[in-house]
Amino acid sequence: LLSFNLEEERLIEEIIKRKAKKILIQLPNGLKPSARFLHRKIEEKTNAVAYFSADPCYGGCDLAVEDARRLNVDLIAHYGHTPFPSNEDVQTVYFEARARYDVSAIVQKAKNLLLGFRKVGLVTTVQHLQDLESVKESLEKTGLKVIIPKAAGLTKYDGQVIGCDYSPLKSISEQVDSYLVIASTFHALGAALTVNKPVISVDPYSNEVKDVERLKRRTLRQRYAFILKARGSNLFGVIIGLKLAQYNPNLALTLRELIRKKGKHAILLCAREVTPEVLANFPEVEVFVNTACPRLAIDNPERFKKPILNPNETLVAMDEISWEDLTEKGLF
């Protein structure tokens, strides 16, 4: 069974130190079953009232500041992610939920797939960063040169990967001929679409090791088909995400303007959670353009009845940039 360090003692210390009377706890869905455990600890050791957010939380982009204000809490405890830049004034403490198991054994399974490469870029999610140096050492014993990229963009740590910012991987692309991503396939696919080099996925959750090239090609075929569909469509729904760091209304307005200039129609939609059910309520919209989480469009698009394009894909559909620009520069 996979287990993660919830740092419950630090949580208690933070509540006491900050004299918090009410606290909002945000857990990724996979950690929500730990709510009972954390609740018991808080009740045993403090007088604080703990609220557990039941909404999904997929990233540091989704700090629940508005919920915190409505509940009038003194503190947010956000689990599983590192901070996104924010000017919000709600006190927040982050808990990275580091894994309590070592990924080295599963990385051994990747060695065959790395045969033929000489220099590999190595990254993982915040949960497994503590294993990165030992994985590096063990890969270097096989003769590979391993490079761990420096933190950049939205990442906090060297070697960290998140789903919507692959700038650390891009920063070492001249120095490596491949990448090893220790994370779910979701992160490996994001990397493959951005870096244009072979990406090996080592997934500690499914215990699967694979080259994601086939998945990347399938995704690119889907993306291209959606762009073609958009070229022949008339009504677009431009989505503004209402989660804190996904909110980009100016980009949505710019894209709406561009779509209109091309003689088509666009309506603005806004939502916290963009799901197939939410979008199905707008049956006349032929294609959606998403300015919120860029992974929504890319991962499992079959879930949605209509195509969803990312902003740069919309630029391709509107003939502002070429498909080659998009794919060669990894602008997804």
Residue numbers of the site for ligand SF4 (CB under 6 A)? 58-61, 162-164, 246, 293, 295
Beta bridge partners of 202: 182, 209
Nearer of residues 147 and 292 to ligand SF4, judged by Cβ? 292
Minimum CB–partner distance for residue 244 and ligand SF4 (Å): 10
Intra-chain end-to-end CA distance of the chain, in Å: 34
Beta bridge partners of 235: 265
Q: Where are the alpha helices (DSSP H) in the chain?
A: 8-17, 35-45, 65-71, 104-108, 132-140, 167-171, 185-195, 213-231, 249-261, 276-280, 295-298, 311-317, 323-328
Nearer of residues 297 and 318 to ligand SF4, judged by Cβ? 297
Minimum CB–partner distance for residue 322 and ligand SF4 (Å): 25
Q: Which residue number is nearest to ligand SF4 in terms of Cβ? A: 59
Separation CA 272–CA 283 (nearest Å): 19
Nearer of residues 256 and 295 to ligand SF4, judged by Cβ? 295
Beta bridge partners of 241: 271
Nearer of residues 114 and 181 to ligand SF4, judged by Cβ? 181
Nearer of residues 61 and 316 to ligand SF4, judged by Cβ? 61
Coil, helix or strand at residue 204: coil
Minimum CB–partner distance for residue 59 and ligand SF4 (Å): 2
Separation CA 172–CA 161 (nearest Å): 13
Minimum CB–partner distance for residue 58 and ligand SF4 (Å): 4
Q: What is the DSSP letter of 301?
A: G
Minimum CB–partner distance for residue 225 and ligand SF4 (Å): 23
Q: Tell me the residue type at 197.
A: K
Under 8 Å between Cβ of 77 and 25:
yes
Minimum CB–partner distance for residue 60 and ligand SF4 (Å): 6
